[in-house]
Chains A and B, each alone.
Chain A
Amino acid sequence: MTPTSRTLVRVPVWPLFVAVAFAAVALTALVLIENQRWLGAALAITAAVCFCAARFGGVAAMEVAASENPWLLRGLIMVASLAVIFVLRDDNFGLLMLATVLIYATICLGLTVQMGYAGLTNFAAAAFAGTGGYTAAMLGQQGGLPDALVLVCGGLVAVFIGSLLILPVLRTRGHYGALTTMAFGVMFNVFLDANDFFGGPQGLKLPGINLFGWDFTNDIHIFGLVLSSYVNYVILTGILTALAMIFVGLLDRSWVGVWFDVVRLDETAASVFGLKIAYWKVLAFTLGNFLAGLMGAVYAKMTGFIAPANFTFGDSLVMVSIVILGGIGNRWGVLPAALIVVLLPEKLQFIQEYRLIFYAVLVIAILTMRPDGLVARRVRKLHTEASA
């Protein structure tokens, strides 16, 4: 929005406060409640409130307020996150789940850049995350490298492995393109299962994170309060998710985002206007793989153990499902979608065993009834200045 429009229309900011507060309360409730019946009720209420907000313009009001006051939104999210962490401070399992949700969400942000923006298909996100995880494990066995570098290395190795796939990814399109990443994803798993050097099917153990002397395995003592050691991981993953979110958002708003859109929607038109299609596709592929590798390394460090079974083709499918479920190309949709896909099966005991079937039916239902996902991506408005 331009400065003139801000002086002309005063947008109420209270929807922003209400939305963030509601999200924080709902999240805390869903993580904390153990009783299945209460959990069901909480889920139903959350869904009903979301539906009503979407139906009666609450979401639209919130979006307007958010676009008018981006820094207020960021500050509110910050405060709400600290409040959630404070409430959950000694719930190890809840914190672990929260960190896992954030890891999935960040990997899916990378997928959003690849699939939603540049239009590449990637059915090997879990394999790239696994590459990062195994890098962290191997470097951890060697020792000597600071953990901050280990995590970055995880991302870089994923980028390197991904760069081997660049040529087929660039040359193929559509279904043929889906094949290359799919074959890579399956191959990754078969290779690890057969290979003793990387621990075979039993996997590898690795130590926790120690960032610049900040040891993640210790509880945090602050103002006389004891916070579980998992708070460390939630904070780290939260920061990484926030950074990725801001970065992807900036990318989308800048001309790079517009060019991604052009490359995705019409390659011929893009090349007519002088865009180097290969260049932008490589950029998107690399960015996404870096995020996947980085978060895979964090995941491996957090759980302290990795095995091929953590990074199967099925997991890649789950990640693609999150992107589609959230609304392909919409970075905000990734968060609720990751929450639904990761948290619900953990919390609802009766679907634990049936989790894959639950995902499958959920995705089928979404695809048939709401193909744009929960939070559909808006059509880009390039003429706001002119109309305002």
Chain B
Amino acid sequence: MGMIGQHLLNGLMQGTIYGLVAMGFTIFFGVMNVIKFSHGDVLTLGAFGGLVAVWAANALGLSVPLQFIVALCVAMALTAVVGAGISHFLIMPLRNAPPLNMLLMTMMVGTAIREAIRLFFPNGTNPQRFPELLPAGGFNIGPSFFRTDAIILIIAGAASIGAVYWIINHSKFGLAMRAVAEDTETARVMGINFGRIIPLTFALGSITAGFAGMIYALYYSEINYSMGLLLAVIGFTAAIVGGLGNIWGAIIGGYLFAGLQTFVVAAIPSMSDYKNVFAFVLIIVLITWRPTGLLAERGSERV
């Protein structure tokens, strides 16, 4: 029985990370109709940026909570700048190109980031240990052991999802964003600065990636250059399953994917190496059943 709590916590943790990544995908898709596949590698970049910040803060002799704050700020600032840069210099010029070109372009941007980390980060080919910045230890509820840092991270992740949701639905910037997503031309006529909203949107989406990268690093205490690729595929999958452009769909998709993985690990421990295989098979079946996602995009094809 003790394992159930463990699996639940693990599943929730992974679901939060997947949901955050999927949310980024769905924000970009909602506003620009693009799939930014470099999202996962921006996440990796954020985690590595956080690692460097921790090293620097440690060298300066800052206390552990301060190190944590510095790392978080650096990770989020770095991903925001990189995300906005990618949108401004690479995605905007291609926005009228066929979707395949755009997909390939962002995949290649991701490859470039991934390889750059591998080649230019000191000892980048090997996994890097990420220092534990959150309070260690934990507590027992019945037979299950709960790690304190995991609880903190899950709450922080859920809070950040809530924050992004609030920004999109209740702030002025979110209103402008939704206007651009609905109808770019009309939004521009209404005086919305299109050239500023788009990079800002990408910055917002990328900040969630940076945040997810920090959560990943703090939870697993290890980061490597290629972690973003699988996270991107899973996040994309989650966003697709939920229905692109739909924030709640993305979050549901993220938790669903984590749930499938955890279920396989919990139910058939001998097959735990195949958890992603099972999850992807089920996702392919799901997408066959509902080709535009669980919470489908509205709208019909006009001839």
Q: Do A and B bind each other?
A: yes
- Which residues of A are in contact with B by a Cβ distance under 8 Å? 115, 121, 165, 167-168, 171-176, 178-180, 182-184, 186-187, 190-191, 193-194, 268, 313-314, 317, 320-321, 324, 328, 353-354, 356-357, 359-361, 363-364, 367-368, 371
Q: Could you say which interface size class chain B belongs to?
A: 35 or more
**A168, B287: Cβ atoms closer than 8 Å:** yes
Between-chain CB contacts (< 8 Å), 14 pairs: A115-B100, A168-B288, A173-B291, A175-B99, A176-B287, A178-B103, A179-B287, A180-B288, A328-B100, A356-B111, A357-B111, A360-B112, A364-B105, A367-B105
Q: Which of B35, B104, B115, B292 contacts A357 (CB 8 A)?
A: B115
Residues of chain B having any CB pair with chain A under 8 Å? 29, 35, 90, 93-94, 97, 99-101, 103-105, 107-109, 111-112, 114-116, 119, 229-230, 233, 236-237, 240, 244, 273-274, 276-277, 280-281, 283-284, 287-288, 291-293, 301, 303
A188 to B, closest residue via Cβ: B277
Nearest neighbor of A164 in chain B, beta-carbon distance = B284
Docked complex Cα distance between A367 and B293 (Å): 29
* Cross-chain contact of B283 among A175, A183, A313, A367 (Cβ < 8 A): A183
Residues of A within 8 A of B115 (CB): 354, 356-357, 360
**Which residue of A178, A190, A359, A371 contacts B97 across the interface (Cβ within 8 Å)?**
A371
**A172 adjacent to B233 (CB under 8 Å):** no
- State how many angstroms separate the Cβ of B290 from the closest Cβ of chain A: 9
Determine whether the beta carbon of A367 is less than 8 Å from that of B229. Answer: no
- Whether A360 contacts B104 in the complex (CB less than 8 A), given A180-B284, A368-B94, comes out as no
Instruction: State in angstroms the CA–CA spacing of A368 and B106 once bound together.
Output: 12
Interface contact B94-A357, CB-CB below 8 Å = no
> Which residues of B lie under 8 Å from residue A368 when comparing CB positions?
90, 93-94, 105
Known contacts A172-B291, A175-B35, A187-B280; A314/B111 CB under 8 A: yes
State in angstroms the CA–CA spacing of A48 and B101 once bound together. 27
Residue from the list A168, A176, A320 in contact with B104, Cβ < 8 A: A320
A-B CB contacts (within 8 Å), total count: 123
Which residues of chain B come closer than 8 Å to A328, judged between CB atoms? 100
Secondary structure of the A side of the interface? Answer: helix
Residues of A within 8 A of B90 (CB): 364, 368
Contacts of A360 in B (CB 8 A): 108-109, 111-112, 115
Shortest distance between the CB of B278 and any CB in chain A (Å): 9
Q: Are A363 and B104 within 8 A (Cβ)? A: yes
Q: How far is the CA of A11 from the CA of B200 in the complex (A)?
A: 57
In the complex, what residues of A have CB within 8 A of residue B273's CB?
193-194
Q: How far is the CB of B57 from chain A (nearest CB, A)?
A: 30
Given A165-B284, A174-B99, A361-B112, 8 more A-B residue pairs with CB atoms under 8 Å apart are A168-B287, A183-B233, A184-B280, A186-B233, A187-B280, A190-B274, A367-B97, A368-B105
User: Are B119 and A354 neighbours in the complex by a CB distance under 8 Å?
Assistant: yes
Nearest CB in chain A to that of B33: its residue: A175
Complex alpha-carbon distance, A353 and B115, angstroms: 10
A367 to B146, CA, bound (A): 49
Q: How far is the CA of A260 from the CA of B237 in the complex (A)?
A: 29
Bound Cα distance A121, B112 (Å):
22
CB nearest to B112 among chain A residues: A360
Cβ contacts under 8 Å, A171 to chain B: 287-288, 291
A187 touches B277 (CB 8 A): yes
